[in-house]
Structure 1
Amino acid sequence: MTLRRIILSLAAVSLMASAAGVMAQAQPSLAERRAIATYEKEQYPAWQKKIQQAAGFDVPIEVNWNSIAMPGDAEHYAKDDYFVKTIFQPIEVALADITKDDMGKAALKDKLKKISVVYNEAGASASAYKERVKFDAGVLTVNFRPFTNTDEVKDRADAIRLALEAKL
């Protein structure tokens, strides 16, 4: 087998694995969609406001609710250990740390265009926070698994802060 065929075979296997990971993420059940809708209406606005206050401006936040809704966990969504400590609080803490002075505020406002919250199981392990945060073309993408390692707010916040600081 030639080197080219080996490379093409590996690329095909990688592409199929990525597609399988995307397809494995099923549409949330009715109970999960209801729990998401309730959370989005009753609790998320306060966290959106906290994150924007920490940033110092009304940065758009795009949450892919279907991707962060874990099957069978609908009854846990409203608990702080689910979305707050694992996703929203680390974002707020990281932004507040960056904007603690005028230099940080100006840099963040100049470069941060959007925050995208999503969970995709493929790639790094759930606790590899640095590998699960990207800041490219003005978009901060946070890919943390909800409801895991809930006491590691600082570790998650540090990963977000470091990703931002590297490109601010």
Structure 2
Amino acid sequence: MGLKENRFTRTFQEEQFPELKDQIIEAASFDVAFNIEWSTLFEDRFLHLYNDSYPKIYFLPLIEAFKSITTDDMGKEALSESLKEIHITNTKDHHNPKNAYSFSNGVLTVDHSPILNADDIDNRTKVLVNLLENNL
């Protein structure tokens, strides 16, 4: 990562990520660990869009999916017993959520392009809910 990317990452981590993380923890009903490979979440030509696309792609679907799953004690218990970590990366520029999400050994992996289909929050949320409900 270059200076521009490092500056953006630090600003995002300090200004937006804490609130998003708090919302995820609140929705999940427990403090889940994060493993975010920030250096994989960049394409230089799209840097100006990331303040908007990061939340929509990586965090808002998690918040909404966890809210859906934890509507009752059974969902809260299943999620807290099964989910150990959220791993966010971009290794294959997936833009279809059916290819971008996986859940194995307690790790929910989000391997999604940082820019493609950013506004498709509802579809990503549905895929996440389905994936988690089938694996919890």
- TM-score category of the 2 structures, normalised to the smaller one: over 0.9
Q: Distance in 2 between matches of 1:132 and 1:150?
A: 13
Unaligned runs of 5+ in 1: 1-27
Q: Look up the match of 2:58.
A: 87
TM-score of the superposition, structure 1-length normalised? 0.76
Q: Look up the match of 1:60.
A: 33
1:72 match: secondary structure: helix
Q: Look up the match of 2:125.
A: 157
| Greater strand proportion | 2
Q: CA deviation at 1:43?
A: 0.8
* Higher Rg of the two aligned structures: 1
Q: Distance in 1 between matches of 2:25 and 2:35?
A: 12
Asked whether 1:41 is paired with 2:14, we answer: yes
Q: Distance in 2 between matches of 1:74 and 1:116?
A: 21
Residue 83 of structure 1 aligns to which amino acid in structure 2? Y
Contact 1:62 / 1:115 at 8 angstroms: preserved in 2? yes
The sequence identity of aligned pairs, in percent, is 34
2:58 match: secondary structure: helix
Unaligned runs of 5+ in 2: none
Q: In structure 1, which of residues 47, 72, 75 is the aligned counterpart of residue 48 of structure 2?
A: 75
Q: CA deviation at 1:143?
A: 1.1
Q: Distance in 1 between matches of 2:60 and 2:39?
A: 20
Q: In structure 2, which of residues 103, 112, 117 is the aligned counterpart of residue 144 of structure 1?
A: 112
Q: CA deviation at 1:55?
A: 0.3
Contact 1:36 / 1:69 at 8 angstroms: preserved in 2? no
Contact 2:50 / 2:114 at 8 angstroms: preserved in 1? no
Aligned length: 136
Q: CA deviation at 1:115?
A: 0.6
Q: Look up the match of 1:104.
A: 75
Q: CA deviation at 1:162?
A: 1.4
Residue 161 of structure 1 aligns to which amino acid in structure 2? V
Q: In structure 2, which of residues 4, 24, 45 is the aligned counterpart of residue 51 of structure 1?
A: 24
Residue 101 of structure 1 aligns to which amino acid in structure 2? D
TM-score of the superposition, structure 2-length normalised? 0.93
Deviations 1:23-42 (A, max 9, x none): xxxxx221111111111111
1:31 match: secondary structure: helix
Contact 1:36 / 1:77 at 8 angstroms: preserved in 2? no
Task: Name the structure, 1 or 2, with higher relative contact order (CA <8 Å, separation 6+).
Answer: 2
**CA separation of 1:141/1:84 partners in 2, compared to 1, >3 Å: closer, same or farther?**
same
Q: Distance in 2 between matches of 1:61 and 1:36?
A: 15
